[in-house]
Structure 1
Amino acid sequence: MISFNSIPGNIRVPLAYVEFDNTRAVAGTPAMPYKVLFVGQKVSAGTAAVNTLYRVATADAAIALFGPGAMLARMIQMYKSINRSCDVWAIALADAVAGVAATGTCLFSGTATAAGTFAIYIGGDRVRFAVPSGMTASQAATALAAAVTADTTLAVTATADTATVTFTARHKGVCGNDIDLRFNYYSDDATPAGLAATLSQVGSVVAGSGNPDMADAITAMGDNWFQGMVTPYTDSANMAALEAELLDRWGGVRQIGGLAYCSYRATHANSVTFGDGRNSPLVCCMPSGQNPNPTWIWAAATAAQATASVALDPARPFQSLPLTGLMPPPETSRWMLDELNLLLNDGMSTWEVDAGGVIRINRLITMYQENTYGLPDASYLNINTPCTIEYLRYSLRTRVTQKFPRHKLADDGVDYGPGQAIATPKTIKAEIVALASEWVEAGLVENLDQFREELVVERNASDRDRVDVLVPPDLVNQFMIFAAQIQFRL
């Protein structure tokens, strides 16, 4: 007897009644929708309400919502310049009332003896002004402050007082301390003769403090599923709150797991210390070193390449992908192999610079390093692992709900009538094995025979409406290291 969904068995009105059943309509592994959430601060010019979820289609939309120069707008601009395929959402935060904005200075001296162009880089953004012969230090300070004020996209504002320009981070908080100041980044930049300037980095005059609290933003997320999240905050309180939320989402009840991306600016030693102090399998942190760009831009660029790749193939590694738009530090500030290896052993991802000056991903890892007993555990080392098993879970749930949407459940070994919507452990197991063969074809898992042998599908002894399944995939790995010995003869 066929199990109809909508045609009643007692209808007597003629003639033909035909319904549809889509349980066999979909074949192959499903494409998982990929949504990325950004959290960061806005400025007053932005139209967005704080702690409210917005879908952001374009970089221009981000500027309108969060304001020109806003941290959040700049993050999304960077992301969109690399990755236009993933669905972007954002939650804006206001500056903390108790927060303090970081400040730095530029002190001019001397008088220009030749005309030229003065160039300063603020968070990687170049600001220039014309210097005529005879320009004094006070005039140069006024000109620089005016040039900074004219560019509302910068991470700072500026005021001039005699020969000193004071830069104030556009946002209150610790993040302002990551705004780099430097002169003459490119070889053809040069300070005009006779004029001199001395920098005090942003955060060294007045240290930024008091990041916004992410608690309300986490509440605003609700149960919306974001496969990627990008945060500018690496302070202990916000990291702990985010890690707890990610772990809860990852669990078997909510099943909306995602990976968060952040960045950390410090010396190599302090970057290692920071990484060693965290242990989340769902956070990827890219240290920026002494790079000109601020950490929130680094986090956005890293997330852009990672999420674009994961959306296409969660098992494929990321080495050599370019972080387009980031400015490499001078060669003397780049980390060597032994330094990179230390970072990778302390939960921090790594990057390198190619011969053309392009920053490229070296390796992306999670911050997970130890099990609950404090012993080394590499089970979640590569971010491909949580990304791949999250996809496997999604495709398994999709397959089961697609093939058995309203089925009855019975034991194996009974000759049920054809067309009956009845699931048995045997039919469910066959469907899971078929799905696993598609995982193999997609290059996500290997060793199908082992999977088939170790797969367990059984009815629950206490709840006869429930099936319990043990799914044992052997994940495909990433080709990271090639080791060879050339044993030659003469």
Structure 2
Amino acid sequence: MIFNTITDSQVPCMSAEFDNSLANTKQQGFKTLLIGFKNTLGKANLSKIYQVNSDKQAQDLFGLGSNLFQQYLKYKKNDKKIEVSCIAVAEGDKEASTSLVFDFEDPTKPILDGVLSIIIFGEILNITINSTKDLKDICNAVVKEISNNIDIPVTCILDQTKPNAILIKTIHKSSIYNDYAIYLNGYEDKPLPTNLKMTYADKDNLIITKFAGATKEYLEDIDALFKEEIKDNKFNLIVTPFFSYEFNNKMADILKNRWSSNSQTDGLLLITINKEDSNDKIFKANLDNLNCEAIIPLNYANSVSPTYLINAAAAAQIALSGSINPASPLQNIPLVGIKPPFQNNRIDIDTRNSQILKGVGSITTIGNTPTLERVVTSYKRNNAGMPDDSYQCAETMLTLSFLRSDFKQYFWTKYNRHNLAENENNLDPSLKILTPNLAKCEAIACFMQWEKNGLVQNLDDFIEDLKVELNKNNSRRLDIMMSPTLIKQLLQVAVQIRFK
């Protein structure tokens, strides 16, 4: 028999030690990383990881109303259990702000009482207008209403270059805010106060005007951020507001390395867009050529909520489901705190199906509730350039990540100080010696537990395919090849009613 610490003693004694190699059942916890911007009120250092445990801590670190603070709040509205860490990164442009001018037309008749109801960054503002107010008073009322809402990440003042106009700038200088719109409220039948008129960028879709101006998403060196700060910290989900082609390709390379057998710090990157048409230039430029099993793109077409908040809400629901059961279907899951597109702006099932085939997951609206419909990765082709759906489902990636982590946790905790021998030796079973047959039994035991937990199926096939042997070129290495059949998710039910 071999002991860990007990040696021979010349003094009469009885020694007893503890060995926990058979007792550890702890799993590595599910963790999420949020990346975004802080504002001048935030005390956090740029490019530094902070584990955040409360709304107050997030506010102190990143600043009230900041991009990262808002992401954190939206995440926690959807999940309060998963451990969350955050990193604030440098904004995209030092000078170029993302801004817009919101102006009214000179009325030809007196403006009557009513309510101006607008939506900006997903926040509905109802501004009471009465007939005693002129356009300057109305502009001041709009400025006050926007400025008093801490959930709208902008500064708002009267425009000094033209009459009856408001200048609005995002507090963060980044191109992620380009194309965000100010909408006339399309949820309720609230017409503009009589004789109040404004210029529309897109009247059919109730878009008054859009933000524009910044040219870059961020100034961060993403490679350096992962190498120098994130390092080998494992995050199951990585959530960012960025979605450019350049960023996606950098992250694809980074994640490929993190999923490798040497690193095993695997995690999934979540990105969200809100484009109706897959032929949209941003959709095509950023996502058409993306082909990475570790990147999950989602699309919630025409949503009035900012994509970075949709992303945070979706990530929280995916993390919660994945932490409970990684194979559980990521479908029909409501997103809390997200506003849906207007009724006439919701895309149909054929369009959503087409986008899923292009490697972009779908968020739909059930009633008026934004709901995760299907979550897929951007993986579409294998190394030979041929169509391949093996890594299409996000549940597949979550399950594979769990199986590898669980088997390593169990097996290596138990056998990391064992010797290695052939099967045929006559060995004392009390000795810490691992044989291929013993390893095979352990692999089968793990599979049976996974099967019991609803992660895998077909035990007989697993046993038949399982190979465990000493490496022919390295007698100190044990090789295990296992082929688990993963549990599949119910996606469709087909029924034919053949009546007579």
Secondary structure (helix, strand or coil) at the match of 1:172 reads: coil
1:400 maps to: 411
Q: Identify if the C-alpha distance between structure 1 residues 150 and 205 changes in structure 2 by more than 3 Å, giving closer, same or farther.
A: closer
Whether contact under 8 Å (2:176, 2:241) holds in the other structure is yes
Bigger mean CA offset, 311-320 vs 259-268: 259-268
SS state of the match for residue 247, structure 2?
A: helix
> Distance in 2 between the 1:370 and 1:349 partners?
16
| Structure 1 contact 460–468 (Cα < 8 Å) conserved | yes
1:239 maps to which of 221, 238, 248: 248
Render the CA deviation track for 1:313-362: whole Å, top value 9, x for unaligned.
Answer: 0111121100111111122211111101110110110122112x101111
Give the structure 2 partner of residue 314 of structure 1.
Answer: 326
Cα 1:487–1:188, aligned 2, differ >3 Å: closer, same or farther?
closer
What code does the residue aligned with 2:215 have?
S
Query: 1:257 is matched by which residue type in structure 2?
Result: D
**Structure 2 match to 1:217:** 225
What is the alpha-carbon distance in structure 2 between the residues aligned to residue 202 and residue 414 of structure 1? 81
Distance change (3 Å), C-alpha of 1:204 and 1:182: closer
Q: How far did 1:39 drift?
A: 0.7
Distance 2:82 2:37 in 1: 22
Distance 1:339-1:272 versus aligned 2 partners, 3 A rule:
farther
Summarize the Cα distance change of 1:7–1:421 in structure 2 as closer, same or farther, 3 Å threshold: same
Q: Out of 351, 364, 369, which is 1:358 matched to? A: 369
1:251-292 Cα deviation digits (max 9, x unpaired): 000001011111113331327524322111011111122110
Change (3 A) 1:141 1:122: same
Shift of 1:462: 2.0
Change (3 A) 1:350 1:206: closer
Counterpart for residue 65 of structure 1: 61
The residue identity in structure 2 corresponding to 1:179 is Y
CA contact (8 A) 1:118 1:192 kept: yes
The 8 Å contact of residues 231 and 261 in structure 1, kept in 2 or not, is answered as yes
Question: What displacement does 1:172 show?
Answer: 1.2
Q: Tell me the C-alpha RMSD between the 2 structures.
A: 1.9
Matched, 1:154 2:152: yes
Q: How many residues align?
A: 484
Report if the CA contact (8 A) 2:300-2:364 is conserved: no
TM-aligned CA distance change 1:112 to 1:411, over 3 Å: farther
Q: 2:128 aligns with which of 124, 127, 130?
A: 130
2: CA distance, partners of 1:64 / 1:179: 27
Unmatched segments (≥5 aa) in structure 1: none
- Structure 1 contact 98–210 (Cα < 8 Å) conserved: no
Answer yes or no: is 1:257 the counterpart of 2:257: no
In the superposition, relative to structure 1, how do residues 318 and 112 fare at CA in structure 2: closer, same or farther (>3 Å)? farther
- TM-score calculated relative to the size of structure 2: 0.93
- Please say if residues 101 and 176 of structure 1, whose CA atoms lie closer than 8 Å, have aligned partners that are also in contact: no
CA–CA distance in structure 1, aligned partners of residues 363 and 187 of structure 2: 21
- Which of 113, 116, 119 is the aligned partner of 1:118? 116
Question: Which residue of the partner structure matches residue 375 of structure 1?
Answer: 386
SS in 2 for 1:96: coil
Separation (CA, whole Å) in 2 of partners of 1:457 and 1:182? 62
Cα displacement string for residues 155-214 of structure 1 (whole angstroms, at most 9, x for unaligned residues): 222121331012212211211114231122331544322322335569856433211144
C-alpha distance in 1, partners of 2:151/2:121? 11
1:31 aligns with 2:30: no
Within 5 Å, which residues of 2 pair with 1:448-459?
448-459=459-470
- Match of 1:25, as an amino acid? A
TM-score, reference length from structure 1: 0.94
1:101·1:173 contact (CA, 8 Å) conserved in 2? yes
d(CA) in 2 for partners of 1:56, 1:477: 35
Q: Is the 8 A contact 1:275 1:343 kept in 2?
A: no
2:6 & 2:236 partners in 1: Cα distance? 40
Unaligned runs of 5+ in 2: 202-206
> Do 1:100 and 1:210's aligned partners in 2 also have CA atoms closer than 8 Å?
no
CA apart distance, 1:405: 2.6
Q: Is the 8 A contact 2:178 2:212 kept in 1?
A: no
Aligned partner of 2:204 in structure 1 is none
Distance 1:283 1:12, change over 3 A: same
Distance change >3 Å, CA 436–CA 482, structure 1 → 2: same
Q: Distance in 2 between matches of 1:41 and 1:205?
A: 18
Q: Note the C-alpha offset of 1:418.
A: 3.4
